Amino acid sequence: MFNMSSIVDKSEEQKGAEAEVEGFHNDLGPFVVAAETTRMAMVFTDAKEPGNPIIFANDAFLALTGYAREEVLGQPFNFLMADGTDVSTLKRIRVEFEASSAAGAAGTEILYRRKDGSEFCAALFASPVHDKSGAIVQYFTSFVDLTKHKEEQAQSRMLIDELNHRVKNTLATVQSIVWQASRANSDPKVIREAVESRLFALSRSHNLLTRENWHSAGLLDVLHDALEPFGVTDGRAERLVIAGENIRLTTKAALALGIAFNELATNAVKYGAFSNGKGSIRIDWTTEPMSEGRRLILSWREKDGPLVAPPLRQGFGSRVIERGLTHELEGTVQLDYRPDGLICTMNIPVPGIRDG
């Protein structure tokens, strides 16, 4: 009943279609007027002829498909089918018309091709038109354009996938924080305080990225959010120097650096340059080309704090920093415990940064 067909010169068929349309208008005048003015794409086809040729198409259908009326009249119903349409799709259309004959209008989603070659998905609804003897003489078919709906579905799926990805990453980070905290200490109170501190830092980074729609975040903004709880942007501001452009960080880099800055600030307030009244910190960075690509080189330098000595074993904070920069960003971190102050140098490859 339905065969794939390209648009060809069908002058004879079109003449017959035009005659059919004239009779069609006479028989169903008021209904045709309504179909012509509706915003839903509609066609009528001749059920008596092979291929179910189109004998009427309203303006909404022409706008949807991009064809002129004379290009549509006389064409077989399936001339809009996209290239490569398989047999199962043709069967679905056949079932649609057969179902409409038995039980009124039905509906199925089909992929169609516009005149310009672009494709669109539409829900097809077909209803039969009977003559006085009860025989089906035409099919009244409407198309509901699902393009926007499909785009919204795809966007929803993408957002769900992205949310799922973020949740998994966040849970992995939390799991690592808890594991490292419990590994470093057996006191439940100390473990709780350590975990709460890191989760608070993670939460602040999440809030920053949410304000940025999770696209990226500025390095200066990440620093500000990480250091603000320690009074570094208030009472200790005169003892803090930050020098560098507001490089845009990927979400992964923003989260990892946010936690790293929290660890360094915590250490500075408890034991380092901000634990007394005269210590200072300088944070600066540049991007440098290297043989394997551009990298972000960031330095955290403390001075004039209490005398610094290398730890006897790796602490919880340094493990958190190392995990974030080494494992998450494939970067490197170097902690230099100089007597006059800690120097932390971070080296992050190009995949971890984005210029903005």
Burial grade of 198 (CB within 10 A; 0-12, 13-18, 19 or more): buried
In this structure, the strands spanning 332-338 and 41-46 are unpaired
The DSSP letter of residue 244 is S
Residue carrying the six token digits 């990453």:
169
What pLDDT score does 7 carry? 41
The DSSP letter of residue 28 is S
Architecture of domain 150-354: 2-Layer Sandwich (3.30)
Residue ranges per structural domain of the chain: 11-145, 150-354
What pLDDT score does 276 carry? 87
What pLDDT score does 116 carry? 92
Q: What is the distance between the alpha carbons of residues 119 and 328, in angstroms, rounded to a whole number?
A: 41
What pLDDT score does 103 carry? 46
The string over 297-310, giving b where at least 16 C-beta atoms fall within 10 Å of a residue's C-beta and e elsewhere, is: bbbbbbbebeebee
What pLDDT score does 232 carry? 60
Architecture of domain 11-145: 2-Layer Sandwich (3.30)
What pLDDT score does 34 carry? 63
The set of residues, in sequence order, having a beta carbon less than 8 Å from that of 67 and lying 6+ positions away, is: 57, 115
The CA-based dihedral angle spanning residues 326, 331, 336, 342, taken in that order and rounded to the nearest 10 degrees: -90
How many residues does this entry show for the chain?
A: 356
Q: What is the distance between the alpha carbons of residues 320 and 32, in angstroms, rounded to a whole number?
A: 72
Q: Which helix (H) or strand (E) holds 148?
A: helix 147-184
Strand blocks (E) in the chain: 41-46, 54-57, 108-113, 119-130, 136-145, 217-218, 240-243, 248-249, 280-290, 293-303, 332-338, 341-349, 353-354
User: Could you tell me the two tokens for 227?
Assistant: 């250091």
What pLDDT score does 338 carry? 93
> Do 150-354 and 11-145 fall under one CATH topology?
no
The set of residues, in sequence order, having a beta carbon less than 8 Å from that of 106 and lying 6+ positions away, is: 96, 99, 100, 125, 126
Please list the pLDDT of the chain residue by residue as tens digits (356 residues): 444 344 444 455 555 555 555 555 555 555 566 667 678 888 888 888 888 899 989 999 999 999 999 999 999 888 887 666 665 666 666 666 666 554 444 556 788 889 998 888 888 888 888 888 888 888 888 888 888 888 888 777 776 766 666 666 666 666 656 665 666 566 777 667 666 776 777 777 777 778 877 778 899 999 988 888 876 655 566 788 999 999 888 888 888 899 899 889 888 988 899 888 889 999 999 988 877 778 999 999 999 999 998 887 777 677 778 887 888 888 999 999 999 999 999 999 865 555 44
